[in-house]
Amino acid sequence: MHTDINKLFENLWNDYIEMTPSAEQVHQLLSRGETIINDHIALRTFNIEKVNLKVLAAHLESLGYVDSGDYHFEAKKLKAKHFEHPDAMQPKVFISELLVEEFSPELQNTIKSLVEQIDVAATKADNFLYSGRHWELDSKTYEALLAESEYAAWVAAFGYRANHFTVSINHLPGYTSILDVNETLKKGDFVLNSAGGEVKGSAEVLLEQSSTMADRISVSFTDAEKEIPSCFYEFALRYPKADGSLYTGFVAASADKIFESTNAS
C-alpha cells in the first residue's frame, strides 16, 4: 500500500499519459502554464472477489479516503462508489465494478480465466492501481467481450490504471463556464463525447461534465497488435450546495454517458 498520496497520483498520471498521448496536449492547452487541480480520477474492475471494488478501494482507504457515495448502472451492469479525502484538494476517486454474473456464461468464463492469472500479492502491492494488465489476451477474446460489454473489453485490454483524469474547472484560471472549456478543446481539434449532449448535467444537479473521446493506441494481444480506445480526459464544474460548499458527489445519469467515452467512436 502507498504511504504518499501525491506519489500515488504522480504514478497514476505518468501511466495515464502514456496511454493517452492527447492528455498532455489538453493539459498544456488548458493550463497555459498554471497548475491544474484534478477533480477526480476513475478506476474500473470486475466484481470478482480477488480484484473487486473493495480490493481497489483498500489502496485509497489506507491513505485516508472515505467511502462517500453509491451508484448503480443497470443497463451497463455496473456498480460504483466514490471516495473522498478529508483534504478536499485531493482528487476524488470514482471506482466501478462490472457485475460479471449478469452476463453470458462465455463472458463469465473469460473474465474468470483472466482473473485467475493474477497473483494475489500483486493486488496488494504499492503499484496495483497503475499496474496495467495481469493476463494474456488474444484479439478474438477481446472482440467477443466487446460484443457484450465495452467496459469488460476495456478492463480486459488495459487492466488496472486511471481510466481518466478530470480537470476541475472551478480551479482552472481563465475559465468560468464548461462551454468555454469545450470551445477551446474543439478549436484545438479534440473530439468531445457527445452522448447525451456535450455537456452532461446542469447547475440544477450541481455538476456539469464533459469529456474527450478516448485516444486510440496500439495494444499488444497474443496474436496481433490492434488500435483500440484507451483513456480520455474529463472536465468538471461543480456548483455550491445550500450551505455554500461545493457539491462533491457524482450524477448517475451523467456518469452513464461518461462511461461511453471509451466506446469506439
Contact residues: Ni ion, CB under 5 A: 42, 234
- Among ligand OOG, Ni ion, none, what binds residue 11 when CB lies within 5 to 8 Å by partner kind? none
- Among Ni ion, ligand OOG, none, what binds residue 254 when CB lies within 5 to 8 Å by partner kind? ligand OOG
Q: Choose between 11 and 210: whose C-beta lies nearer to ligand OOG.
A: 210
Q: How far is the CB of 181 from ligand OOG (least distance, A)?
A: 15
- Among ligand OOG, Ni ion, none, what binds residue 257 when CB lies within 5 to 8 Å by partner kind? none
Q: Choose between 137 and 258: whose C-beta lies nearer to ligand OOG.
A: 258
Identity of residue 178: I
- Among ligand OOG, Ni ion, none, what binds residue 259 when CB lies within 5 to 8 Å by partner kind? ligand OOG
Q: Choose between 39 and 123: whose C-beta lies nearer to Ni ion.
A: 39
Q: Choose between 42 and 129: whose C-beta lies nearer to Ni ion.
A: 42
Q: Per residue, what are the HEC states of 67-78?
A: EEEEEEECCCCE
Rounded to 5 degrees, what angle do the CA atoms 130, 134, 138 make? 125
Distance CA 263, CA 265 (A): 6
Q: How far is the CB of 166 from Ni ion (least distance, A)?
A: 5
Q: Choose between 123 and 211: whose C-beta lies nearer to ligand OOG.
A: 211
Say if residues 140 and 110 touch (Cβ distance below 8 Å): no
Say if residues 15 and 41 touch (Cβ distance below 8 Å): no
DSSP 3-state assignment of 38? strand
Say if residues 151 and 166 touch (Cβ distance below 8 Å): no
- Among ligand OOG, Ni ion, none, what binds residue 250 when CB lies within 5 to 8 Å by partner kind? ligand OOG
> Looking at beta carbons, which pairs linking 111-115 to residues 24 or more positions away fall under 8 Å?
111/46, 111/48, 111/152, 111/156, 112/48, 114/156, 115/46, 115/48, 115/50, 115/51
Q: Which residue has its beta carbon closest to ligand OOG? A: 255
Q: Which residues, other chains included, contact 128 with Cβ-Cβ below 8 Å and sequence gap of 6+?
A: 56, 59, 122, 160
Residues of the shown chain interacting with ligand OOG in the complex, contacts defined by CB under 6 A: 42, 44, 94, 96, 163, 209, 234, 250, 254-255, 258-259
Q: How far is the CB of 207 from ligand OOG (least distance, A)?
A: 8
Distance CA 179, CA 199 (A): 8
Q: Choose between 52 and 244: whose C-beta lies nearer to ligand OOG.
A: 52
- Among Ni ion, ligand OOG, none, what binds residue 207 when CB lies within 5 to 8 Å by partner kind? none
